[in-house]
Structure 1
Amino acid sequence: MKHPAKEFQVLATVTDYTRFCGLPAPAHPLLTLIDLELARNQPSPARLTPIVQQLYTVWLKRDFKGRLHYGHQSYDFSEGVLGFVAPGQVFSVDEMLDVSELSGWMLVFHPDLLLKYPLGQKMAGYGFFSYQVHEALHISAQEEKVLDGLMATIRDEYERPIDAFSRDVLVAQIEQLLSYANRFYHRQFLTRRAPERDQLSRFEVLLAGYFAQDGTLPLPTVHYFAEALHVSPAYLSDMLRSLTGQNTQQHIHHALLEKAKRLLLTTSLSINETAFQLGFEYPQYFNRLFKSKTGLTPAAFRRSAN
């Protein structure tokens, strides 16, 4: 079945995100904190095209009147205020969105912020970042007070001049925020039966699970995932492109590069050993792919991060 082509706007960096929202450049290259009351009067091009962001977003929104479209379903804010988006996921908003009374905050951070920390490995375990969750998290007044307090500490650190400890402190604060979110999430959803996974969610789980494995694995192919989902490779790529703006191979490359970055920054493996562990038979192919996607060779990326 042929899916109609769509236009997608890709936000690859935190600066892309603030520019898209009509806000000043971020104080930190990998993280920003947005006051939604200040941002609500900005024009919203998100109404025109779906947005693909290669960033994590956590938001607490009050007086939000409208619906988000998340993946290819609606994301329900009618009862909840706390929402989450992971890198590579797609969202857009209703034409009738009313933000005239919107308030709250939005934390936006790049996955590279977490690469050298255990939190980077744990992110896949936070179920509220999954496409399977189609409703915002409802929190009590006391829970909201806790989150606002945590956000105040993050804001205080974010507004300080960057020094050698800034990233350590920010990552620790984000982990604390997500730990509380995990507690609230399980309180709300633990007793509910999980909805049946659609193909997009199933692909997301399969892809994350494949690259979470340790040791040397062969490079996964489009055919591998298509077979696991019981669809043809052409259908899978067409379906993913229509829903996310990227085909199967592009999703694989994105996940592969995220794992490559983690190995480069958290292990002492040589560049060649890293390539072999990722499944490349020839390291030069790994070098070529890495540079084409990041603008840096693996060696240069490792040096720049250190």
Structure 2
Amino acid sequence: MEDVFYFNSIKEYNDFNNHETLHPLVSVVHLDKANPRKLRRLRYGFYTVFLKQIYCGDLRYGLSNYDYEGGTLIFLAPNQVIGENKNEYYQPQGIALIFHPDLITGTSLGKNIGDYHFFSYAVNEALHLSDQERKIVEDCFSKIGYELQHTVDKHSKHLIISNIELFLNYCIRFYDRQFITRENVNKGILERFEGLLNNYFSSDKSQNIGLPSVSGCADELHLSTNYFGDLIKKETGLSAQEYIQSKVINVAKERIFDADKSISEIAYGLGFKYPQHFTRLFKQKTGITPIEFRRLN
């Protein structure tokens, strides 16, 4: 048995779930019509959104397990892998919205699809919906489904894509709400991030490895890079990269007071490959060079 079961086309996924193909590039699939199946690792060649309405078992994404409860949205970008291979059978439940990248090519949604960062979130960073939010999601799905059932005319593609875009924009709002309602959890992550940076610069990691990266910090905190970046932005108003740079500058200011070290030594100690890059960043953030800062203080 192959390690990953791959769905290349919308029709393949529809057939797998006993669902009629009404459009070659988009579908709203009611998964309760599918046959019971074994747990498998799955990969999709298109954008996939699952609305899970009831408990349907554990799925595996990377190394993270997550229980899908009612009112949870899971987003997958093309070619992401989800699930795990087991001999257990389960009955799929919920609704899947699937759309091929070719559907949105050349449209405003196609140009801006990268702005919807949640397609790169890990499954344990899924969106949990209130009853009212779930109704809005179901209404968007219903409108897309209506257009798929409607006789194709010159308005069909525009209306389908517009409703997908509307749905995704609602999801941005709902994620903003989730960041707020999980404020205590988020603050804990922010504190761990700050502690991570403190430990990084108090050790020899910066000198041996270089400057801390956003992806490296996200990995240490067991978060996807995009979710981590969005969370830090919501909590601090700074991007994760800006937050790291701010920390670098604060540490640099402390070290500049050590007159026994040259600016180049300080730069290398912070993880810069070239001292001029440190000088450029320092002046960009403070308005003066490290040497001028040392003289003034």
TM above 0.5, yes or no, is yes
Equivalent position to 2:37, from 26, 36, 44: 44
CA 1:133 to 1:7, structure 2 compared with 1: closer, same or farther past 3 Å? closer
* Number of equivalenced pairs: 193
Cα distance in structure 1, aligned partners of 2:135 and 2:225: 35
Cα distance in structure 2, aligned partners of 1:81 and 1:169: 25
Kept in 2, the 8 Å contact 1:82–1:139? The answer is yes
Equivalent position to 1:67, from 55, 58, 71: 58
> What's 2:139 paired with?
149
Equivalent position to 2:24, from 20, 29, 32: 29
SS of residue paired to 1:143: helix
Kept in 2, the 8 Å contact 1:31–1:108? The answer is yes
Cα distance in structure 2, aligned partners of 1:142 and 1:134: 22
Equivalent position to 2:126, from 116, 130, 136: 136
Structure 2: where are the runs of 5+ without partners? 194-216, 229-297
SS of residue paired to 1:169: helix
The structure with more radius of gyration: 2
Cα distance in structure 2, aligned partners of 1:93 and 1:7: 9
SS of residue paired to 2:28: strand
SS of residue paired to 2:33: helix
TM-score (norm 1): 0.56
2:68 corresponds to 1:77: yes
**Relative contact order higher in (CA < 8 Å, ≥ 6 apart):** 1
Q: Percent identity over the alignment?
A: 34
Equivalent position to 1:198, from 199, 219, 227: 219
Structure 1: where are the runs of 5+ without partners? 1-5, 206-306
TM-score (norm 2): 0.57
Kept in 1, the 8 Å contact 2:74–2:123? The answer is no
RMSD: 3.0
Kindly report which structure 2 residues correspond to 1:248-263, keeping only aligned pairs within 5 A, or say none: none
Cα distance in structure 1, aligned partners of 2:118 and 2:89: 23
CA 1:27 to 1:124, structure 2 compared with 1: closer, same or farther past 3 Å? same
What amino acid is the match of 1:9? F
2:11 corresponds to 1:15: yes
Equivalent position to 2:162, from 162, 172, 184: 172
CA 1:185 to 1:133, structure 2 compared with 1: closer, same or farther past 3 Å? farther
Kept in 2, the 8 Å contact 1:80–1:136? The answer is no
90-99 vs 29-38, greater mean Cα deviation: 90-99
> What's 2:287 paired with?
none
Cα distance in structure 2, aligned partners of 1:181 and 1:119: 14
What amino acid is the match of 2:9? T
SS of residue paired to 2:82: strand
CA 1:136 to 1:202, structure 2 compared with 1: closer, same or farther past 3 Å? closer
Cα distance in structure 2, aligned partners of 1:97 and 1:125: 36
